[in-house]
């Protein structure tokens, strides 16, 4: 399989110190300047293979959206490199990034916030086509938009409606249409169904899977819903505090999770027809990415943590099964 | 089994300028002492309105326009605001999705808890403090003495929801109504909170009405489930029957739409269309526009609940004649 996207050692940190004056602190009678940095994504290395659905899972604040936005070029990484079909894209000027802006698209959780409320559905879909294909005639643009609307299941007779006139599910169809209308290769979908009801979720997931089949799309699929991920993903990366702690095929991850955090996460999922009890319970809260713990980011909540875990950051290691896991205990064969 | 609360033919309307929105229609259900009942349905189905109407807390212009809510042998739907206040927070507690709907950001947790106790019970300040500590321990808040002096923002989301549960326990209620109590929380925290609610219900023989859109959560926690669609109960029965042997076409479709029920199939089962607007309800069965099994008279008459052999009740003409 060909690598479509390579993410290498990427850090994305946000400096939230504010103005120079906000940064001043009085310590022991002396004024010092203090920076506050959110370490949202830390040393992430991942490949996305052409045609696959790579899911990113993890609890809120673990850096899923930041990673997706960094990949899309909406944020510049503080460290590391991103390659698309072998070409480095993280350091491109907006002009040089332009060709990738058609190949790479993003779908967001809240279709209402991501659609311009003052534009009709038709305009929302025509705008990117016009921008990237200035030579197309009006008729050609219209045809292309109508075709995509049909494909996502929005009747073209609603083309003159505004976003608020659609239901949540229909709005998400329109934002998917907006992503598809440029005929991309890659779509980063950030919690695309989280705001929808179950019966509508199924409609949108089917739509995404159909579009993938028809167009050979590659997805980076972000979700906190593990049963959805189990259904749709080829491989899964589990994130915790900005770090990837495990990367595995969907089958391996769900049947044979290695990292203690993955194990806890999986055992916490409620199952239809399941019974409570017998879960591995995590205690304590997720620390903030402002003061990252030393060593393994998970050590404060890990029942297998030892001295080494508090000091040394575990490196990603590939197991025989192909699963990549960052955990000392797994490496030492303690678990 | 002893009945704790029952609702008969409850109707709740929102009378808006031009039209009337019928949020809850002809709902009847019973909950026994110590029983855990789930109310599931998609957003806008009327779950919250139903939950709030039980304790007469519907926001204006909402109004109970028919039916009764019997609690401990009295029709509390006709209670005055003051009479209701006594019941609410005394025998029935409510837990919201957003803890900040209950918590005051500028008061310490201790102050808020003590206020609640003193409003409902005749105890000294010292005894009130002891009750606070006891309840905080019950919900596994570490170092409760220290925590009492802290403000809501000093707690994480999961901790805040624990505090809310502790507050709801202050007056030893016999029923807790929890409206999407874990929807805003991460799955590991959700699991902790659900374990806690379950443990409390079991040790204190407390009744629970768990309102949620999450079928997996209700299936793990409750003994009976009511499925709400467009303001009506379309199916109600023992949890294992609703989950394992659903009879209403909507419940069946909903369960089959879950990815975990896909059974190796790539495509998920989808229910076409969406729930009708409450302003614009079909004359007959509310599910009729999306139903594969509809018959001619489904468009004209609303089906009532009928008893099935599996102990459940279903509102569907296609199931008449017993099954
Ligand atoms: N633009 C930003 N400025 C400052 N902090 C941010 C920004 N975006 C995200 N963060 C912080 O980075 C962390 C990761 O956020 P995010 O990527 O949104 O997580 P997730 O999508 O997994 O919930 C969080 O602590 C969040 O508050
Ligand atoms: N204060 C209100 N005014 C007008 N309509 C309301 C009000 N509260 C709820 N509704 C309506 O009642 C219906 C049921 O709402 P709700 O009980 O909140 O649904 P659920 O909790 O199942 O998502 C919805 O159509 C909603 O718009
Ligand atoms: S490295 Fe140590 S603390 Fe981290 S997950 Fe493994 S055992 Fe736990
Ligand atoms: S009553 Fe008719 S329309 Fe309604 S669910 Fe049953 S078969 Fe379908
Ligand atoms: Mg996010
Ligand atoms: Mg609600």
Measured at the CA of B190, the angle between CA B256 and CA A253, to 5 degrees, comes to 65
- State if residue B13 touches ligand 4 by the CB under 6 angstroms criterion: no
Q: Per-residue pLDDT tens for A145-187?
A: 999 999 999 988 899 999 999 988 999 999 999 999 999 999 9
Structure tokens belonging to residue A122: 């038709």
A/B interface, count of CB pairs below 8 Å: 113
- State if residue B135 touches ligand 4 by the CB under 6 angstroms criterion: no
Assess whether B126 and B256 both reside in one domain. no
Count of residues for chain A?
335
Assess whether B59 and B194 both reside in one domain. yes
For chain B, the residues whose C-beta falls within 8 A of a C-beta of chain A are: 42-43, 156, 158-159, 186-188, 190-192, 194-195, 198, 213-217, 219-221, 240, 243-244, 253-255, 257-262, 266-272, 274
Is position B239 within any domain?
A: no
**What was the pLDDT predicted at A280?**
66
Q: How far apart are CA B234 and CA B286, in angstroms?
A: 9
Q: Is the pLDDT of residue B322 over 60?
A: no
Best residue among B232, B288, B300, B315 to mutate for probing ligand 4, ranked by most atoms within 8 Å of CB: B288
Mean pLDDT of the region B203-230: 96
Minimum-distance CB partner of B258 among A198, A269, A274: A198
Range of the domain at B178: 3-222
Assess whether B64 and B194 both reside in one domain. yes
Closest C-alpha to B249, from B268, B231, B227: B227
What's the number of domains chain B is made of? 2
* Cβ-Cβ contacts under 8 Å for A118 (sequence gap 6 or more): A162
Is position B259 within any domain?
A: yes
* ipTM of this complex prediction, to 2 decimal places: 0.88
- State if residue A257 touches ligand 1 by the CB under 6 angstroms criterion: no
Is position B8 within any domain?
A: yes
Minimum-distance CB partner of B198 among A60, A276, A285: A276
Assess whether B179 and B284 both reside in one domain. no
Is position B120 within any domain?
A: yes
Closest C-alpha to A331, from B56, A323, A163: A323
Is position B167 within any domain?
A: yes
Neighbours of A10 (CB within 10 A): 23
For A41-50, b/e burial (b = at least 16 CB within 10 A) is: bbbbebbbee
Assess whether B28 and B169 both reside in one domain. yes
**Looking at beta carbons, which residues of chain B come within 8 Å of A62?**
none
> Where residue B57 sits, what CATH number does that domain have?
3.40.50.300
Assess whether B186 and B308 both reside in one domain. no
Assess whether B153 and B297 both reside in one domain. no
Average pLDDT over chain B, rounded to an integer: 92
Cα-Cα-Cα-Cα torsion B64, B67, B72, B73, nearest 10 degrees, comes to 140
Question: How near does any CA of chain A get to the CA of B83, in Å?
Answer: 37
- State if residue A301 touches ligand 1 by the CB under 6 angstroms criterion: no
Q: How far apart are CA B269 and CA B250, in angstroms?
A: 12
Which residue, among A198, A211, A257, would best test binding to B if mutated, counting the most B CBs under 10 Å from its CB? A198
Under a CB-based contact definition with an 8 Å cutoff, are residues A318 and A324 in contact? yes
Assess whether B265 and B208 both reside in one domain. no
DSSP B203-214: HHT-EEEEEES-
Structure tokens belonging to residue A233: 């993903």
* Cβ-Cβ contacts under 8 Å for B122 (sequence gap 6 or more): none
**What was the pLDDT predicted at B311?**
95
Assess whether B151 and B295 both reside in one domain. no
Task: Give SS3 for A63.
Answer: coil
Pairwise pLDDT comparison (A122 vs A114), residue with the higher score: A122
Q: Per-residue pLDDT tens for B179-209?
A: 999 988 889 889 989 999 999 999 999 999 9
Assess whether B316 and B255 both reside in one domain. yes
Is position B242 within any domain?
A: no
Q: How far apart are CA A36 and CA A39, in angstroms?
A: 10
**Looking at beta carbons, which residues of chain A come within 8 Å of B269?**
202
Is position B235 within any domain?
A: no
Under a CB-based contact definition with an 8 Å cutoff, are residues B55 and B94 in contact? yes
DSSP B80-108: -HHHHHHHBTTTEEEE-SSGGGT--TTS-
Of the candidate ranges A226-235, B85-94, B238-247, the one whose mean pLDDT is the lowest: B85-94
CA of A309 to the centre of ligand 3 (A): 6
Assess whether B173 and B316 both reside in one domain. no
CA of B231 to the centre of ligand 4 (A): 15
Q: What is the pTM of this model?
A: 0.92
Is position B234 within any domain?
A: no
CA of A40 to the centre of ligand 1 (A): 6
Assess whether B104 and B164 both reside in one domain. yes
Average pLDDT over chain A, rounded to an integer: 93
Q: Is the pLDDT of residue A84 over 50?
A: yes
Q: Per-residue pLDDT tens for A239-295?
A: 999 999 999 999 999 999 999 999 999 999 998 987 776 666 777 777 889 989 999
């Amino acid at each position: 399989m060909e690598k479509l996207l390579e993410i290498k050692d990427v850090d994305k940190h946000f400096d939230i110190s504010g103005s120079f004056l906000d940064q001043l602190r009085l310590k022991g009678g002396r004024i010092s300047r203090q920076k506050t940095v959110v370490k949202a994504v830390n040393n992430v290395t991942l490949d996305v293979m052409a045609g696959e659905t790579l899911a990113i899972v993890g609890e809120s604040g673990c850096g899923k959206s930041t990673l997706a936005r960094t990949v899309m070029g909406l944020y510049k990484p503080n460290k590391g490199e991103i390659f698309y079909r072998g070409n480095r894209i993280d350091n491109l000027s907006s002009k040089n990034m332009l060709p990738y802006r058609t190949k790479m698209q993003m779908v967001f959780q809240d279709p209402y916030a991501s659609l311009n409320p003052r534009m009709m559905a038709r305009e929302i879909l025509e705008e990117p086509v016009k921008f990237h294909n200035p030579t197309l005639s009006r008729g050609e643009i219209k045809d292309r938009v109508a075709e995509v609307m049909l494909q996502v299941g929005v009747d073209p007779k609603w083309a003159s409606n505004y976003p608020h006139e659609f239901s949540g599910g229909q709005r998400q169809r329109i934002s998917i249409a907006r992503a598809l209308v440029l005929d991309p290769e890659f779509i980063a979908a950030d919690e695309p169904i989280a705001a929808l009801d179950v019966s509508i979720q199924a409609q949108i997931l089917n739509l995404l899977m159909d579009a993938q089949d028809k167009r050979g799309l590659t997805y980076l699929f972000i979700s906190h819903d593990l049963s959805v991920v189990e259904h749709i993903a080829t491989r899964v990366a589990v994130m915790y505090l900005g770090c990837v702690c495990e990367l595995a095929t969907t089958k391996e991850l769900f049947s044979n999770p290695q990292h203690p955090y993955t194990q806890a996460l999986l055992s916490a999922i409620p199952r239809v027809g399941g019974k409570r009890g017998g879960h591995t319970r995590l205690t304590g809260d997720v620390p903030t990415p402002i003061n990252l713990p030393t060593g393994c980011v998970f050590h404060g909540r890990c029942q297998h943590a030892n001295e080494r875990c508090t000091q040394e950051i575990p490196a990603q290691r590939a197991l025989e099964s192909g699963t990549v896991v960052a955990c000392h205990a797994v490496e030492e064969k303690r678990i | 089994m002893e009945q704790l609360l029952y609702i008969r033919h409850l109707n709740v309307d929102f009378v808006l300028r031009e039209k009337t929105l019928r949020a809850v229609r002809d709902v009847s259900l019973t909950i026994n002492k110590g029983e855990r009942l789930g109310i599931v349905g998609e957003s806008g189905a009327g779950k919250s309105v139903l939950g709030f109407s039980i304790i007469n807390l519907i926001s204006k212009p909402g109004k109970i326009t028919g039916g009764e809510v019997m609690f401990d042998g009295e029709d509390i739907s006709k209670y005055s605001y003051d009479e209701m206040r006594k019941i609410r927070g005394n025998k029935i507690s409510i837990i919201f999705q957003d803890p900040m709907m209950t918590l005051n950001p500028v008061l310490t947790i201790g102050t808020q808890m003590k206020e609640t106790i003193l409003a409902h019970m005749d105890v000294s300040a010292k005894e009130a403090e002891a009750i606070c500590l006891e309840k905080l321990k019950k919900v596994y808040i570490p170092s409760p003495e220290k925590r009492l002096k802290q403000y809501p923002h000093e707690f994480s989301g999961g901790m805040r929801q624990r505090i809310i549960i502790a507050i709801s326990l202050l007056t030893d209620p016999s029923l807790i109504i929890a409206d999407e109590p874990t929807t805003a929380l991460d799955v590991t925290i959700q699991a902790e909170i659900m374990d806690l609610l379950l443990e409390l219900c079991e040790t204190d023989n407390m009744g629970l009405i768990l309102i949620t859109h999450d079928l997996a959560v209700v299936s793990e926690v409750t003994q009976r489930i009511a499925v709400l669609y467009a303001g009506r109960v379309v199916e109600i029965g023992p949890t294992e029957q609703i989950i394992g042997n659903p009879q209403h076409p909507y419940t069946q479709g909903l369960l089959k739409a879950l990815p975990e029920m896909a059974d190796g199939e790539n495509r998920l089962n989808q229910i076409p269309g969406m729930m009708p607007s409450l302003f614009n309800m079909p004359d007959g069965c509310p599910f009729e526009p999306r139903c594969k099994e509809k018959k001619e008279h489904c468009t004209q008459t609303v089906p009532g609940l009928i008893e099935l052999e599996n102990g459940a009740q279903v509102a569907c003409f296609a199931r008449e004649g017993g099954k």
